[in-house]
Chains A and B, each alone.
Chain A
Amino acid sequence: MDMTLNAFTLSLLTGLQLGSIYVLIALGLTLIFGTLGVVNFAHGALYLIAIYLAVSINNTLGFGLALILVPPLLFVIGVAMERGLIQRFYDRPHTDQILVTFGLAIVLQELLKWIFGANNIPFAIPSWGNGIVMLHDYLPFLEGFVVYPKWRMILVVVAIVTVSAVFALLHLTRFGLVIRAGMRDAEMLQFLGVNINRRFMVVFGLGAMIAGIAGVFGGPVTQVSPEVGMQLLVPSFLIVVIGGMGSLGGAVLAGILIGMAQSFTAPYIYLNTIIIYLITVIILLVRPRGLLGAKGVFE
């Protein structure tokens, strides 16, 4: 493989950018799975709601309001979803949880298709995010003229900030401590007199909110059409599995790994289409628990 430094840098950036969206969606999935033990097949639909809300607000009221409104709105939608539906399924078998969220995903997707149509809606990037970054100005080792879309770099930065914020919340606050304890042993926490039900609700909202942030910044990159939700859900699931179910660090690691793998195999079209599945199979054969999966968690 003969690759110039220029091409390598660009592939690296594309890998980071692809990984960013995956990480943001997988983070919510794994957070919900780790605490509530629910596999949320409707998580792709949450992202879908986010991008449609974002594009509607962005194209009428401007990007600033979309950024302020969409994540909190998604938090509310997530909480409503948990209270109204998911809550009833904590005591039911896992398959029932998969089925009901799968049904919800279809309903939400079809509803959005009905309202907004099946075609892609153009998502106008705000003026400050438009244009390209001259990479050769910052990185002296690059030869000649190397540019990258500015918006995609912003997306990477947003992902880094969001992931850091989630980790800070979980590791530096009392709320986070309780959530992490809940991920390990929810029953024990209940015996200690902690109302985990309310915190579960917040976690679900949080997962939805991260999907909201992903939607605001990812919408212009992933396009805005009803199929996007399911298209992203499958790789995100695989990332959660590769990283180890319920492991936040694992999700981040696996998300970047998959993003990089897709980016660096781009010249080899055949390998590119199956690389993500290939990695999943190999990882699961070598490490059945996933990269950072904890022992005894949903085995």
Chain B
Amino acid sequence: MNTQSNFWQYNKTVLMFAVVALTMPFWFPLMGGYSGLDTKIMIFCIFVVGFDILLGFTGYLSFGHAAFFGISAYVTGIMLKNFSDNIIPAMLVAVAAATVVALIIGLLTLKRTGIYFSILTLAFAEMFDSMAMSMLQRWTGGENGLTGLPTPMLFDLKMQGDTVFYFCALMAIALFYFAKRIERSPVGLMMKAIKCNQTRLEYTGINARRYKLLAFVLSAIYAAIAGSLMVVYEPFVGHEFLGWHQSGEIVIMSVIGGVGTLVGPMLGAAFMLYFENVMSVNLGEQWLLVLGVIFMAVVIFMPGGFMEAMARLKKRFFTTIDGE
């Protein structure tokens, strides 16, 4: 209600995230995370925060966000290879291309709700995947992926090691702040109203489709920025960037962390990447099986993910002390 008193509250999360993110190179290796994984975590934080604008706010479950991630990654790669090794034009063109695609897909798919929407977004992503593997093979490199990219440059700065990490971390902080701003804006309220009861919202004379499309395109832009950064981080575009595995991974991250909380999905992303790359050493080939079981357990017993778990623990241990 009162934005003034909430102001500190909202920015506290962003500041906390900024501190955690920027100090990551110092404490992350202590946990066994190899250098570079922290960069990847930042990139996926961007991806899931954007995804939460769509899934968390409006309740639309997309199974095709790999499309925007992948298209942007390919365009970035092609730009770096053929135009200039400066990342600024590459990223701009990539995000613009993905935005146009998102507008078209959004206009076509958002007519349908729930299940239809999930299936249609999945279909579109699969279509782009098939196209990249066949008719666009000359540009995408097909199954082998797009290789032979130059070292990306930010003007005179080589994008390697810590430079990439801080670049991605700063982007993640800025985009998280932006998402937080959307959350507490009237637009964010409209998006959340769509999730609560779209029919009722429309009866009040509000054009819900405009807000749905906005949420969809915004989340696609986040995905596109993440996809583009992925190529800046590692100058290579794999064909799996476009596959349904990628879309599924984002869904799993968001759900495990806690949909609709913005922070939760980032926790989910960090957990999943850490799990996949560090903890999986002990699990070998079966890490995905264990992850699947964890994911199912979360959906069945704790639909709010990590954030709900934390809230429950907090309530259990602090209720009596605070007297809440």
Residues of A at under 8 Å CB distance from B? 33, 39, 85, 88, 92-96, 98-100, 102-104, 106-107, 110-111, 113-114, 230, 234, 237-238, 241, 245, 269-270, 273-274, 277, 280-281, 284-285, 288, 298-299
7 example contacts (A-B, Cβ-Cβ < 8 A) are as follows A88-B300, A106-B248, A106-B288, A269-B134, A277-B123, A277-B130, A298-B116
Known: A94-B115, A281-B108. A273 touches B122 (CB 8 A): no
Residue of B nearest to A37 (CB): B115
Tell me, rounded to whole Å, the shortest Cβ–Cβ distance linking A107 to chain B. 4
Is B126 in contact with A95, judged by CB distance below 8 angstroms?
no
Q: Tell me the B273-324 residues at the A interface (CB within 8 Å).
A: 285-286, 288-289, 291-293, 295-296, 299-300, 303
Q: Is the CB of A298 within 8 A of B115?
A: yes
Q: Which residue from A95, A113, A114 sits with its C-beta under 8 Å from B59?
A: A95
Q: Closest residue to A117 on the B side, CB-wise? A: B285
Separation of A284 and B111 alpha carbons in the complex (Å): 10
* A107 with B131: CB separation less than 8 A: no
Interface size on B, as a range, is 35 or more
Judged by a CB distance under 8 angstroms, whether B135 is at the interface is yes
Q: Compute how far the CA of A285 lies from the CA of B120 in the bound complex, rounded to whole angstroms.
A: 12
8 Å CB contact of B292 from A85, A106, A237, A285: A106
Report chain A residues within 8 Å CB of B292. 103-104, 106-107, 110
Smallest beta-carbon distance A201→chain B, Å: 19
What's the minimum C-beta distance from B22 to chain A, rounded to whole angstroms?
33
Picked from A39, A111, A280, A288, the residue with its CB within 8 Å of the CB of B118 is A39
Given A88-B300, A100-B296, CB of A270 within 8 Å of CB of B134: yes
| B55 neighbours in A (Cβ, 8 Å) | 95
Give bound CA distance, A269 to B131, whole Å.
Answer: 10
Q: Are B122 and A234 in contact (CB under 8 A)?
A: yes
A39→B115 contact, CB < 8 A: yes
Q: Are B118 and A98 in contact (CB under 8 A)?
A: yes
For residue A18, give the distance in angstroms from its CB to the closest CB of chain B. 16
Interchain CB contact under 8 A, A94 and B114: yes
Nearest residue, chain B, Cβ from A104: B296
Query: Contacts of B300 on A, CB cut-off 8 Å?
Result: 85, 88, 100
Per-residue CB contact flags for chain B residues 116-130 toward chain A (1 = under 8 Å, else 0) read 101110111011001
Whether the pair A106, B295 counts as a contact (CB closer than 8 A) is yes
Distance to closest chain B CB from A235 (angstroms) = 9
Question: Is B241's beta carbon under 8 Å from chain A?
Answer: no
Q: Would B126 and A234 count as touching, CB distance under 8 A?
A: yes
